[in-house]
Amino acid sequence: MAVKLETPLGEEDVLKLRAGDIILLSGTIYTARDSAHRRILSLPREELPFEPEGAVIYHCGPVVRKRGESYKVVSAGPTTSARMNRYLDGILGLGVRGIIGKGGMEVGPFKGRAVYFAFTGGAGSLAARSIKGVKAVHWLDLGIPEALWVLEVEDFPLIVAIDAHGGSLYR
Amino acid sequence: MIDGLVEAIRLAVTRIPDDTVSALQRAYEEEESEIARFNLENILKAIEIGKTESIPVCQDTGTLIFFVKAGVNSPFLGELKGAIIEATRRVTEEVPLRPNAVDILTGRNSGDNTGRGVPVIHWEITEGDEIEVAVLPKGGGSENCSALAMLTPSEGWEGVKRFVVEHLKACGGKPCPPVVLGIGVGGGADYAMGLAKRALLRRLGERNPDGRIAELEEELLKEINALGIGPMGMGGRTTALDVKIEVAHRHPASFPVGLVVQCWANRRAFLRIKPEGRVEVWQ
């Protein structure tokens, strides 16, 4: 049975999850890839365009369509998370409680504080169905794939692939 | 001609080829773990949505790579390169595709999938008056798992198998398994990589016409699936949908092996330009 979760996530939300659990995530999530991670960690906390405490970061560079001043997400699956391993400890240190991606990450930094959720790589057209809207976009100077997209999701189906207790599904 | 190229690129990113869909359906039926089935079910749903809504199945619409067989007597040879670049710009806007061309020095995204050396075009001059173009949108996650090994001749085919299996094991879920592998052996470092990428254009299940190489393809496929990496690296029976090997003669001192990893989406489309200008598009 899928567990429903809503952002922002608290410590207790995260600690009750175990690798292999299927969850449905709703609320606000933030996309970030290589360049956005670098920028997040280079800025003082008060200059970040989002509140990292309890946040969920999605390793995703979406395909978006611009209509006038508004954006619509067309396809938005996860990108390979291992590229962001070097930033992981710093990001989780800001209070981020969840990472969504594919392919897995280092298990150590998640212990006691956060979880790694996997969505199916390549299934971008399906992921887009869980995205109800674009609330904002920051750092478009990094390019569309690398910008920080603030997305509203509803019942995004995810697998807990690395839990906060050292458990991991990856081979 | 530009319209035809736009159509071929759109087809490649929004429709997954039938042979690949069948292989994924078979994989779904054979998997027993709930997690492997969750992933394969998502894949099959995403394919269906891409097809019915005509949107990119994967958000990484890749770097566009074109393999051109250019008949020397085609009247369209001179305009083809410009047409490919123009079609790339148009399709980026129309489908839309994700802009994936970033300046190597400044990191600036060009915004339209064109730039220095991009889209990538491989040219081959052939006889006759037709042009055949294969479109291969190549995603970054799987391409990052591509590799070259310069083996010694004494390592030979055993070395090829060891290299491919070890490398795939190290990549785990990163390239979006179940993957398709293109392997090029011989010809030198650059040529081996080119052969490997070209091998991906072959249909799944279609073996190399040389029976001995066909056997190696099957052996490798079995060994890779025995690794248990499974869909998205979370365990399962299907890690690769197929293995394609292409070969060339080698230097006596060298045994180059190019390995190109393609994700499950295995995107491709083809286009033929007839001498009178008629265009055929297929997958």
Cα separation of A101 and A161, whole Å?
A: 10
- Best probe of the A interface among B28, B106, B232, by most A CBs < 10 A, is B232
Q: How far is CA A94 from CA A75, B75, B149, in A?
A: 29, 61, 41
Task: Report whether A59 contacts A103 (CB < 8 A).
Answer: no
The alpha carbon of residue B261 is apart from the nearest alpha carbon of chain A, in Å, by 14
The complex's ipTM? 0.95
For residue B145, give the chain A residue with the closest CA. Answer: A80
- Best probe of the A interface among B234, B238, B264, B266, by most A CBs < 10 A, is B234
Cα separation of B46 and A75, whole Å?
A: 10
- Which DSSP helix (H) or strand (E) runs through A149? strand A148-162
**Paired tokens of B280:** 């055929």
Beta-strand (E) ranges in chain B? 63-71, 120-126, 131-138, 147-151, 179-185, 240-247, 255-262, 269-273, 279-282
Identify the three-state secondary structure at position B69.
strand
Q: Which amino acid is at B87?
A: A
Contacts of A68 (CB under 8 A, 6+ apart): none
Per residue in B168-220, pLDDT tens? Answer: 999 999 999 999 999 999 999 999 999 999 999 999 999 999 999 999 999 99
Q: How far is CA A133 from CA A108, A162, B29, B45, in A?
A: 33, 27, 34, 21
Alpha carbons within 13 angstroms on the beta-carbon side of residue A84 total 35
Alpha carbons within 13 angstroms on the beta-carbon side of residue A25 total 34
Identify the three-state secondary structure at position B248.
coil
Do A145 and B109 count as a contact with CB atoms less than 8 A apart? yes
Cα separation of A54 and B206, whole Å?
A: 50
Cα separation of A56 and A78, whole Å?
A: 13
Do A123 and B109 count as a contact with CB atoms less than 8 A apart? no
The alpha carbon of residue B277 is apart from the nearest alpha carbon of chain A, in Å, by 32
Give the pLDDT score at A35. 96
Q: Which residues of chain B have pLDDT under 70?
A: none
For residue A75, give the chain B residue with the closest CA. Answer: B59
Which chain B residues touch A85 with a CB distance below 8 Å? none
Tally Cβ neighbours within 10 Å of residue B78.
Answer: 9
Chain B contacts in chain A segment 48-107 (CB below 8 A)? 60-65, 74-77, 79-80, 82, 102-104
How confident is the prediction along chain A (171 residues), in pLDDT tens digits per residue? 789 999 999 999 999 999 999 999 999 999 999 999 999 999 999 999 999 999 999 999 999 999 898 999 999 999 999 999 999 999 999 999 999 999 999 999 999 999 999 999 999 999 999 999 999 999 999 999 999 999 999 999 999 999 999 999 997
For residue A168, give the chain B residue with the closest CA. Answer: B234
**Residues of A acting as catalytic residues:** 37
Give the pLDDT score at A126. 98
Which chain B residues touch A171 with a CB distance below 8 Å? 172-173, 227-230, 233-235
Per residue in B21-44, pLDDT tens? Answer: 999 999 999 999 999 999 999 999
Do A77 and B43 count as a contact with CB atoms less than 8 A apart? no
Nearest to B39 by CA among B134, B177, B198, B156: B177
For residue A127, give the chain B residue with the closest CA. Answer: B46
Which chain B residues touch A22 with a CB distance below 8 Å? 38
Give the pLDDT score at A67. 87
Q: What is the DSSP letter of B118?
A: B
Considering CB atoms only, which of A35, A124, A170 is closest to B57?
A: A124
Do B264 and A122 count as a contact with CB atoms less than 8 A apart? yes
Give the pLDDT score at B200. 98
Do A161 and B102 count as a contact with CB atoms less than 8 A apart? no
Instruction: Kindly state whether A168 is in contact with chain B, defined as any CB-CB distance less than 8 angstroms.
Output: no
